[in-house]
């Protein structure tokens, strides 16, 4: 495998509030990562892709080149991954694709891409509020774009037309079940173990497939009932009893007779069941069950994920035959680092024959640490180069650990080598949510380590290695519950001489989303701390997003920029919080730090974020590594940004709102000729001058719902820091 370099995406600003001269970040995978633990000298193809845990798979032609690329949605943090398919025959040949992320809408729980209108472009079906939301793919060459078609699909339940119900825990089947040319939907009924068939009447009504008109044709498609587990499947036509705790389904033709068979997974088991359809395309009747699928003379290893597997059918090795990919559908209760099973199709698409290949598909090509990733930069082996440590929540059914990636390159061209998954044998301490920080706590000239964890205590690991050049650190647990310092829970410490007296202090984040400062009142060689914070709620910062949770899970990282100390905070919501003005003019710690409302606060790739900042390529701009609960990390390089707010203000007529007019189910967007990446204040007024909607600190890459607005003309006022940027007219019809 070879290193894949990707250029630009996720560009956002970070700097002083005047925005005239700023530096920005762009997401990249240009630093090579080599795995020397699981495979000798294995260069990871998409190391910086953020990890995968509970993953869902679809294919999509992103650039309309005729080659299907891959879309992976992860339930953990509702994040997704785009992979470009190089199309090499008989080869898995994906690379990271960091463009087009902003083209996709916000999605949650489950996402399936299917072409409902027959135009050859995959559309988006995803869970929303007890049903299914649909976005039409309106992409053109060079532009990926989706338009909201249905905020919620409805179906005629006879006699009432209601929201087509799908559980957020389930994965429905969206396929042409009756082979009439349009997409139908199979989904388990509410609190039953039987499969509902919602027939699409588009072809019958309009003669084409471009509509989404459904009727519930039966509440017992296939004439079977799923009981408490997949080992309890009753091939009868009775659906008056049964229990449904969650199921996944994949409708494909397994035996070449054209009708759809089923591969199902259950919330209460580790297996998948194959149900053969002995009926036909108009009348389904399951007549055979294999509860240890797949098993045959070729494949001897059936699916065995700890809980709630889900199957997906797509060609991942460019041989023209769809393969079987099985992911874990249960967040927090099943495998994370080895949660994606790949079965190669050795048969045909119409009569597949699946053989097990691996249990870490894609994950073996990325930095994948199970659940959670809390990165921290330090010099591991005293060679003057920046190395990387990453703590985690845990590996499934194991304890938290700290991985080490040693820089075997240079200061301007780093190459990280994964050399240790359990630095300091932290796993023997039986703790989770391990968050490391490094600094010389005993004045002997090397870096020691303090880790935070779930209980809120912090623990001290002394570096006992000789203080010599090129000497790897040897961390030994010296003190548990260090000076009895304890946060409410989920402690996240950072070692820093905050009061600039030459002694290392501790700043600690935690679940409450605030920071506490613990001053070192001892000496450089013999530190001393009180377990009562010297300053509670340091800087008045908070990472609590009330629209997301009452918890904040703050993870601090202080860094120097142009001689000034600044602060980044990871958070539960996944946003990055940026604060400046740590000191006043006399270098006293400010009671309230200044929050920078740049789009760095809107960058997120999942939840439970943690960041570390340094200059990886010696270009004098800060770079960033971003961890998330999915168990992986993103790499973001800093660079000079030329577009500032002044340029936008000088072009007030360059903004537009589309689609305009918009309809009741439309998601509308604000765009401008010059790409901007800072938040705006958007006030929406009706013709009477009444304020009907107000969006504060709004990232214009997000869509705006107009569902609650009545039909009519509206005025949009766009402001930046109280300065009017533009006025726009919008019609809802």
Chain center to CA of 447? 32
Write out the DSSP string of 227-258: -SSTT-EE-SS--SS---S-EEEEEE-SSSSS
Verify cis geometry, omega within 30 degrees of 0, for the bond prior to 270.
Answer: no
Give the residues across from 222 on adjacent strands.
Answer: 285
Phi-psi region of 646 (alpha: psi -120 to 50; beta: other; left: phi over 0): alpha
- Which tens digit of pLDDT belongs to each residue from 261-296? 999 998 778 889 999 999 999 999 999 999 999 986
Lookup: tokens for 321: 């035959």
Write out the DSSP string of 421-478: SSGGGGGGG---S-EEEEE-SSSSSS-EEEEE-TTSBEEEEEE-S-S-TTPPP-EEEE
Contact (CB, 8 A) for 396 and 371: yes
* CA dist., res. 461 & res. 452, Å (int): 11
Three-state SS at 666: coil
Q: Which pLDDT value is given to residue 718?
A: 82
Contact (CB, 8 A) for 400 and 379: no
665 contacts: CB under 8 Å, gap ≥ 6: 148, 149, 150, 151, 707
Chain center to CA of 339? 15
Q: Which pLDDT value is given to residue 652?
A: 44
* CA dist., res. 329 & res. 250, Å (int): 13
Contact (CB, 8 A) for 289 and 227: no
Three-state SS at 83: strand
Lookup: tokens for 45: 């193809």
Residue at token pair 């119409």:
350
Low-confidence ranges of the chain (pLDDT < 70): 1-24, 39, 230, 240-245, 296-300, 598-599, 640-654, 664-666, 673-678, 687-689, 700-701, 721-723
* CA dist., res. 575 & res. 606, Å (int): 9
* CA dist., res. 302 & res. 326, Å (int): 11
* CA dist., res. 224 & res. 96, Å (int): 42
Count other C-beta atoms under 10 Å from residue 291's C-beta: 19
400 contacts: CB under 8 Å, gap ≥ 6: 372, 391, 392, 393, 394, 426, 427, 431, 432, 433, 434, 453
Verify cis geometry, omega within 30 degrees of 0, for the bond prior to 661.
Answer: yes
Q: Which of 389, 403, 638, 436 is nearest to 555 (CA)?
A: 436
Q: Which pLDDT value is given to residue 1?
A: 34
Chain center to CA of 283? 40
Q: Which pLDDT value is given to residue 21?
A: 35
Verify cis geometry, omega within 30 degrees of 0, for the bond prior to 682.
Answer: no
* CA dist., res. 92 & res. 506, Å (int): 47
Give the HSE-up count for residue 697: Cα atoms under 13 Å, Cβ half-sphere.
9
Contact (CB, 8 A) for 3 and 610: no
For 592, which DSSP code? S
Give the HSE-up count for residue 475: Cα atoms under 13 Å, Cβ half-sphere.
29
Q: Which DSSP helix (H) or strand (E) runs through 648?
A: helix 645-649
- Report long-range pairs for 11-16 (Cβ below 8 Å, ≥24 apart): 11/641, 11/675, 11/677, 12/598, 12/599, 12/600, 12/602, 12/603, 12/677, 13/598, 13/599, 13/600, 13/641, 13/677, 13/678, 14/578, 14/596, 14/598, 14/600, 14/622, 14/638, 15/596, 15/598, 16/580
483 to 427, 503, 511, 528: CA distances (angstroms): 21, 16, 20, 8
* CA dist., res. 19 & res. 205, Å (int): 55
Dump strand ranges (E) for 93-246.
94-96, 111-114, 123-128, 131-137, 146-150, 154-156, 161-163, 173-175, 184-188, 195-200, 214-218, 225-226, 233-234
Give the HSE-up count for residue 537: Cα atoms under 13 Å, Cβ half-sphere.
7
Task: Please state whether beta strands 435-439 and 12-14 pair in parallel, antiparallel, or not at all (unpaired).
Answer: unpaired
- Report long-range pairs for 292-296 (Cβ below 8 Å, ≥24 apart): 293/263, 294/324, 294/343, 294/354, 296/353
* CA dist., res. 84 & res. 95, Å (int): 5
* CA dist., res. 544 & res. 515, Å (int): 12
* CA dist., res. 267 & res. 307, Å (int): 6
Contact (CB, 8 A) for 162 and 153: no
- When computed from its CA atoms, the radius of gyration of the chain, rounded to whole angstroms, is 27
Q: Sort 329 into a burial class: Cβ within 10 Å, 0-12 / 13-18 / 19+.
A: buried
* CA dist., res. 175 & res. 181, Å (int): 10
- Report long-range pairs for 264-267 (Cβ below 8 Å, ≥24 apart): 264/226, 264/230, 265/171, 265/230, 265/303, 265/308, 265/309, 265/310, 265/311, 265/326, 265/329, 266/226, 266/229, 266/230, 266/308, 267/169, 267/307, 267/308, 267/329, 267/330
Phi-psi region of 192 (alpha: psi -120 to 50; beta: other; left: phi over 0): beta
């Amino acid at each position: 495998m070879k290193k894949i370099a990707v250029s630009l995406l996720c560009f956002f600003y970070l700097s002083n509030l005047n925005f005239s001269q700023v530096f920005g970040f762009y997401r990249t995978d240009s630093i090579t990562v080599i795995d020397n633990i699981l495979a000798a000298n294995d260069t990871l193809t998409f190391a910086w892709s953020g990890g995968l845990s509970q993953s869902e798979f679809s294919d999509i032609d992103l650039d309309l080149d005729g080659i299907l690329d891959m879309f992976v949605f992860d339930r953990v943090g509702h994040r997704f991954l785009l992979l470009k398919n190089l199309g090499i025959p008989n080869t898995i040949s994906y690379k990271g694709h960091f463009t087009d992320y902003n083209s996709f809408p916000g999605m949650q729980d489950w996402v399936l891409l299917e072409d409902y209108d027959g135009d050859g472009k995959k559309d988006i079906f995803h869970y929303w509020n007890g049903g299914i939301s649909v976005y039409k793919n309106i992409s053109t060459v060079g532009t990926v774009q989706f338009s909201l078609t249905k905020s919620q699909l409805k179906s005629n339940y006879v006699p009432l037309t209601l929201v087509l119900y799908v559980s957020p825990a389930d994965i429905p089947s969206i396929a042409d079940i009756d082979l009439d040319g349009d997409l139908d939907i199979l989904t388990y009924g509410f609190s039953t173990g039987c499969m509902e068939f919602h027939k699409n009447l588009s072809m019958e009504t309009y003669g084409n497939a471009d509509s989404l008109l459904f009727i519930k044709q039966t509440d017992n498609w296939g004439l079977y009932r799923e009981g408490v587990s997949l080992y309890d499947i009753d091939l009868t036509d009775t659906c008056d009893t049964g229990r449904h705790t969650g199921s996944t389904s994949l409708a494909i033709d397994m035996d070449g007779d054209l009708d759809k068979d089923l591969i199902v997974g259950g919330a209460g088991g580790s297996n998948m069941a194959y149900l053969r359809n002995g009926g036909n395309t108009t009348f389904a009747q399951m007549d055979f069950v294999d509860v240890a699928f797949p098993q045959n003379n070729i494949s001897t290893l059936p699916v065995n994920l700890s809980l709630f597997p889900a199957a997906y059918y797509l060609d991942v090795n460019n041989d023209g035959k769809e393969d079987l990919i099985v992911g874990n559908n249960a967040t927090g209760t099943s495998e994370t680092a080895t949660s994606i099973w790949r079965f190669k199709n050795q048969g045909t698409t119409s009569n597949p024959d699946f053989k097990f290949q691996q249990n870490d598909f894609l994950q073996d090509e990325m930095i994948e640490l199970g659940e959670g990733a809390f990165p921290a930069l330090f010099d591991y082996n005293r060679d003057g180069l920046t190395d990387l440590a990453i703590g985690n929540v845990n590996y499934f059914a194991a304890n938290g650990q700290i991985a080490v990636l040693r820089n075997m390159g240079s200061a301007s061209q780093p190459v990280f080598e994964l050399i240790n998954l359990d630095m300091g044998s932290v796993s023997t301490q039986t703790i989770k949510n391990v968050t490391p920080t490094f600094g010389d706590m005993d004045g002997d000239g090397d870096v020691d380590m303090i880790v935070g964890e779930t209980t809120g205590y912090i623990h001290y690991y002394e570096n006992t290695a000789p203080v010599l050049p090129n000497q790897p650190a040897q961390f030994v647990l010296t003190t548990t519950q260090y000076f009895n310092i304890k946060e409410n829970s989920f402690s996240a410490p950072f070692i820093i001489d905050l009061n600039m007296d030459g002694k290392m202090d501790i700043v600690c984040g935690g679940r409450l989303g605030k920071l506490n400062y613990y001053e070192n009142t001892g000496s450089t060689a013999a530190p001393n701390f009180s377990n009562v914070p010297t300053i509670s709620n340091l800087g008045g910062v908070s990472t609590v997003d009330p629209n997301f949770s009452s918890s904040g899970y703050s993870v601090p990282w202080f860094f120097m920029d142009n001689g000034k100390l600044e602060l980044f905070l990871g958070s539960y919501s996944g946003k990055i919080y940026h604060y400046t003005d740590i000191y006043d003019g006399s270098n006293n710690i400010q009671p309230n730090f200044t929050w920078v409302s740049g789009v760095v606060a809107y960058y997120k790739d999942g939840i439970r974020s943690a960041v570390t900042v340094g200059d990886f390529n010696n270009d004098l701009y800060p770079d960033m590594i971003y961890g998330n609960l999915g168990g992986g990390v993103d790499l973001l390089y800093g660079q000079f940004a030329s577009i500032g707010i002044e340029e936008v203000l000088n072009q007030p007529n360059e903004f537009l709102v589309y689609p305009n007019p918009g309809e009741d189910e439309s998601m509308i967007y604000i765009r401008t000729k010059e790409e901007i990446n800072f938040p705006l204040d958007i006030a929406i007024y009706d013709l009477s001058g009444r304020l009907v909607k107000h969006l504060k600190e709004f990232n214009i890459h997000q869509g705006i719902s107009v569902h609650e607005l009545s039909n009519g003309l509206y005025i949009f006022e766009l402001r930046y820091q109280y300065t009017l940027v533009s006025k726009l007219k919008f019609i809802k019809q």
